[in-house]
Structure 1
Amino acid sequence: MATLEELRLQLDEIDGQIVELYKNRMKVCGKVGELKVKTGSKIFDRQRERDKLLDVASKVSGDFNKKGIQELYEQLMSMSRKLQYRLLVEAGALGRLPFIEVASLDKQKARVVFQGVEGAYSQAAMQHYFGDNCNSFHVRTFRDAMEAIEEGSADYAVLPIENSSAGAVNEVYDLLVEFENYIVGETIIPVTHTLAGLPGTKQEDIRKVYSKAEALMQTSRFLDEHSSWQQISVVNTALAARKVLEDRDKSQAAVCSAYAAKLHGLTILQDNINNEPNNSTRFIVVSNQKIFLKDASKISICFEVPHESGSLYHILSHFIYNDLNLSKIESRPVEGKSWEYRFFADFEGNMADAAVKNAIRGLREEAMNLKILGNY
């Protein structure tokens, strides 16, 4: 019987042969890629790859070996595609990427829309990004804001996309898919909620608390300590403050910012009622123009993948192979397709970077319904 050391030497010899075969295979794959560049042929041939996997599986016996050889060849074919995508990019065949690089946004002349009313956190985010004196107006819903920039009544919209404690704003993600609008910037602001009521109101007077659903979630620990309070969701935190003012009912209170409370003449009954002391919200700046800033460093995309084992894994491999840092991934149900999901991903990079071009080329070939949401 061979010793462990002798068996390892045998493996080393076999591995050396595999390395040489891999190098030879990639040389041939490179020649295939060069031909595809010249002829304009598609890199990813899904049916051919499926046939290849069935063929190699038929040449071994046992379920373990069949799955193993298929997994090995999935990786080999994936590496082959990535090499060929690189050759395509080097030849200038980027596919459809009609984003225009700009040096800066014209913040001085821009007309900006935000969702909510005066005193909303979205207004604070807008002023943080565009300045206190920007030309702006507000609308009732996120959809109204997206429609305003789509039709041209506003140049930019400022929308919340993610909160550090409540998570993603799903409606905004869905609207980014529905509309041909694109992210061109982002800003993060701290969100400190207060409980506010009419002057003279005491906490023991309160029966109803109004606020945006996300704000109620972000202050749930404080609110749940008062089990008799009815929590009622409205469109916006500032709208909740205005409702309390207009109803003139001391049994009502609002969860809103200190600025919104002051703006609407309310008294702060309890300050800083957040669940998390470092609560913040990320806002995106959206335009109907396909542009990106020269110094942009983050890209957002959405895509679907075939509903089969390993499909998401292979898509994510494009980030790994091109050394791109994937900073976020979210999933949302696809409308009309039960138990199928659309993925939203953020990764670091600029669309002028070679690694990003390589990755996007591969993603566009292999993903379903890929959309670049913006580079900012």
Structure 2
Amino acid sequence: MAARVAFQGERGAYGEMAALQYFPGAILMPLKSFADVFEAAERKKVAYAVIPVENSIEGSVGEVYDLLLLTKLKAVGEVYHRVHHCLIANRGVKISEIKSVYSHPQALGQCRGYLRRKKLEPLMAYDTAGAVKMIKDQKLKGAAAIASRRAAELYGMEVLAEGIEDRKNNYTRFLVLAPGADRRVGKDYKTSIMFSVKHVPGALFGILGEFALRRLNLTKIESRPTKETPWEYNFYVDFEGHQGNRAVKQVLSAVRSKTSYLKVLGSYKKASF
């Protein structure tokens, strides 16, 4: 039976493409917000949620990290999706008629140089494919959207330019979340954790040193405001290894004693480009 998978955005969004990349043949559920995607998986309306956590050009998706802190869902997989941005408009519209461009803030940021060179005004939308749908529904002639070629094809729109991202090595990393953890243990795994540090000198240094002592490679570290006390932060860390392995068990035990809060998001097989 095909898995039911939720993603944020309309049909044709990069989240849908990432979900199909990881789950070919899945039954997909498009949802408007990231919070809606988390809720659908938490209430088991779907088996999995596929959510973007970072882009190779624009960096992390802050809202998602805040939701990861609160959810009981577990990270069970990841996927790197190559992003090819297109400038999309209604059929018959010429590129010289375009004055403004709608898209998700991350997509606008990834095409910042192109928009500046073309003197196009960037306008925010909640989703890339949703921007295409909005331009079609409202029959806008002086506006375009930044989205995938798939979105243009799904909504019967015209691609005016392709590959408009500022860097061609443009990838978005998505996490696959599920109500239950992945119990498999093997090589080429990664573990994700979140923690807050005690307010003593060298606290973060001491935590990171535990990974170095066990030769566990950190692949990402990100800080996010706690939103409770000004200038206090939660840290998100990805590192190589499975939580079922001896060295990872040791480091988690050591880190737990040095943090005021520790959450293990899950262990999952590393994705490849």
TM over 0.5: yes
Structure 1: distance between partners of 2:256 and 2:155: 50
Secondary structure class of the residue paired with 2:205: helix
Q: Does 1:141 align with 2:33?
A: yes
Displacement after TM superposition at 1:109 (Å):
4.0
User: How does 1:99-248 map onto structure 2 within 5 Å?
Assistant: 108-131=1-24, 133-227=25-119, 229-248=120-139
Secondary structure class of the residue paired with 2:193: strand
Structure 1 range deviating more: 285-294 or 209-218: 285-294
Secondary structure class of the residue paired with 2:22: helix
Structure 1: distance between partners of 2:74 and 2:2: 19
User: How does 1:182-331 map onto structure 2 within 5 Å?
Assistant: 182-227=74-119, 229-295=120-186, 297-331=189-223
CA contact (8 A) 1:188 1:281 kept: yes
- Cα deviation, 1:312-333, whole Å, max 9, x if unaligned, reads 0001111011111111101001
Q: Does 1:365 align with 2:261?
A: no
Secondary structure class of the residue paired with 2:11: coil
Q: Which ranges of structure 1 fall in alignment gaps of 5 or more residues?
A: 1-107
Structure 2: distance between partners of 1:279 and 1:137: 25
Matched residue type, 2:265: L
User: How does 1:28-47 map onto structure 2 within 5 Å?
Assistant: none
Q: Which ranges of structure 2 fall in alignment gaps of 5 or more residues?
A: 269-273
Structure 2: distance between partners of 1:292 and 1:327: 22
Displacement after TM superposition at 1:293 (Å):
2.9
RMSD, matched Cα: 1.1
Q: What is the TM-score when the length of structure 1 is the normalising length? A: 0.69
- Cα deviation, 1:132-174, whole Å, max 9, x if unaligned, reads x212211100000000011111110001111110111111111
Displacement after TM superposition at 1:291 (Å):
3.1
Structure 1: distance between partners of 2:184 and 2:31: 27
Secondary structure class of the residue paired with 1:180: coil
Structure 2: distance between partners of 1:171 and 1:152: 22
Q: Does 1:353 align with 2:251?
A: no
Displacement after TM superposition at 1:213 (Å):
0.3
Structure 1: distance between partners of 2:202 and 2:210: 13
User: How does 1:3-152 map onto structure 2 within 5 Å?
Assistant: 108-131=1-24, 133-152=25-44
CA contact (8 A) 2:114 2:164 kept: yes
Structure 2: distance between partners of 1:329 and 1:297: 17
Structure (1 or 2) with the larger CA radius of gyration: 1
Q: Paired residue for 1:73?
A: none
Secondary structure class of the residue paired with 1:291: coil
Matched residue type, 1:110: A
CA contact (8 A) 2:203 2:258 kept: no
Matched residue type, 1:155: A
Structure 2: distance between partners of 1:230 and 1:218: 14
Structure 2: distance between partners of 1:111 and 1:173: 23
- Cα deviation, 1:53-79, whole Å, max 9, x if unaligned, reads xxxxxxxxxxxxxxxxxxxxxxxxxxx
Secondary structure class of the residue paired with 1:329: strand
Displacement after TM superposition at 1:267 (Å):
0.9
Displacement after TM superposition at 1:226 (Å):
2.8
Structure 2: distance between partners of 1:306 and 1:352: 26
Structure 1: distance between partners of 2:209 and 2:63: 28
Structure 1: distance between partners of 2:104 and 2:28: 22
- Larger strand fraction of residues: 2
- Cα deviation, 1:254-277, whole Å, max 9, x if unaligned, reads 001111111111111111101101
CA contact (8 A) 2:7 2:15 kept: yes
Matched residue type, 1:373: L
Q: How many residues align?
A: 267
Q: What is the TM-score when the length of structure 2 is the normalising length? A: 0.95
The runs of 4+ residues in structure 1 deviating greater than 6 Å are: none
Secondary structure class of the residue paired with 1:351: coil
